[in-house]
Amino acid sequence: MPLFAMGFLLVVLQPSTGQFPRACANTPSLLRKECCPPWDGDGSPCGELSRRGSCQNILLSQAPLGPQYPFSGVDDREDWPSVFYNRTCKCEGNFMGFSCGECKFGFSGRNCTERRLRTRRNIFQLTTSEKDKFLAYLNLAKNTPSQDYVIATGTYAQMNNGSNPMFRNINVYDLFVWMHYYASRDTLLGGSNVWRDIDFAHEAPGFLPWHRVFLLMWEREIQKITGDENFTIPYWDWRDAEDCVVCTDEYMGGRHPTNPNLLSPASFFFSWQVRTARGEGEGNYPT
């Protein structure tokens, strides 16, 4: 499985999560355009000695770009991740991840051969203790630095084609906020010019599969930091809802009594810091 396993647009842009492995966010990796970190289990790139995977040239689609996107060579996300890396780990069997160090979703065990079925539950069917544990896990993710990933704070051109890396640390929760932003943000045309005519994560064929894998990856990161391999994200069935019934202080937060743009002071999330997408570059993003 390639280094990055999600796509923001199946036709225009190549599969991507828009994430940057910490092990590859450095000048040597960027100048070589290679992201094939060693797997901790045997110390070889992509776990090749254990036949988990190997470092290979990325394969790009030869399909023509769709009419929705009239540009070429202006955005770092085009033909992802070729602007940053053209060699990544290709994982074999049920292995996946930037170093082939993880199991594909639905598998577990030392050799990723054990099937594991997890079931997501309706948030209103959780017990009080289960609901409180879910909120505590979110808070832990908000306050735990990601060990594996960093985020870009500049474009590839701003990084001087890799000789001046521009990345910074981020917590686990905000990593996924940033990934969502990076996939759906406006196209940067250079200078202060942007193109806003399409949202690659929401206005294209990749909408459903992109978000499906996005949630699977978010679940996995929370499983890792909590040690709870059975964790799943609860869902809200909003099909017949007339208003936001999860928007209460008991769940995801009610409205502030005097300012409708803020959360209620009694909300679990009231103290969370928020970044907004203002200004240029990749360092600003909404939560």
Confidence of residue 77 (pLDDT cuts 50, 70, 90): confident
The contacts of residue 139 (CB under 8 Å, 6+ apart) are 268
Amino acid at 26: N
pLDDT at 276: 52
Confidence tier at 166 by pLDDT (50, 70, 90): very high
Determine what percent of the chain is predicted with pLDDT higher than 70: 89
**What was the pLDDT predicted at 274?**
66
Q: How confident is the model at residue 66 (pLDDT cuts 50, 70, 90)?
A: confident
Closest CA to 112 of 132, 92, 87, 135: 92
> So what's the pLDDT on residue 167?
95
Say whether pLDDT at 57 is over 90. yes
User: What is the average per-residue pLDDT within 146-169?
Assistant: 94
The Cα 247–Cα 182 span in angstroms is: 26
Whether residue 282 is predicted with pLDDT greater than 90 in this model: the reply is no
Q: What is the mean pLDDT of residues 10-25?
A: 62
CA–chain centroid gap for 82, Å, is 18
Q: pLDDT-based confidence at 142, cuts 50/70/90?
A: very high
Q: Specify the pLDDT at position 21.
A: 96
Rg of the chain taking only CA atoms, in angstroms? 20
HEC readout, 84-113 = CCCEEEEECCCEECCCCCEECCCEECCCCC
At 176-198, the pLDDT tens digits run 999 998 888 888 887 778 888 87
State the average pLDDT for the chain. Answer: 86
Model confidence at 273, pLDDT cuts 50, 70, 90, reads confident
Neighbours of 245 (CB within 10 A): 14
| Cβ neighbours around 237 below 10 Å, total | 10
Q: What is the pLDDT of residues 84-138, one digit of tens each?
A: 999 999 999 999 999 999 999 999 999 999 999 999 999 999 999 999 999 999 9
Residue 86 vs residues 74, 103, 116, 134: alpha-carbon distances, Å: 17, 23, 33, 39
Q: Structure tokens of 23?
A: 């092990």
Both tokens of residue 209? 């599969």
* Nearest one of 125, 137, 155, 157 to 229, comparing CA atoms: 137
Residue 17 pLDDT greater than 80, yes or no: no
Closest to 173 measured CA to CA, from 5, 285, 8? 285
What's the confidence (pLDDT) of residue 280? 40
Give the count of beta carbons closer than 10 Å to the beta carbon of residue 155.
16
Give pLDDT, residue 9.
32
- Quickly count helices (H) and strands (E) in the chain: 4, 12
pTM of the model: 0.85
Q: Which tens digit of pLDDT belongs to each residue from 201-258? A: 787 778 889 899 999 999 999 999 999 999 999 999 999 888 999 999 999 999 999 9
How are strands ordered across the β-sheet holding 53-57? 34-35, 87-91, 53-57
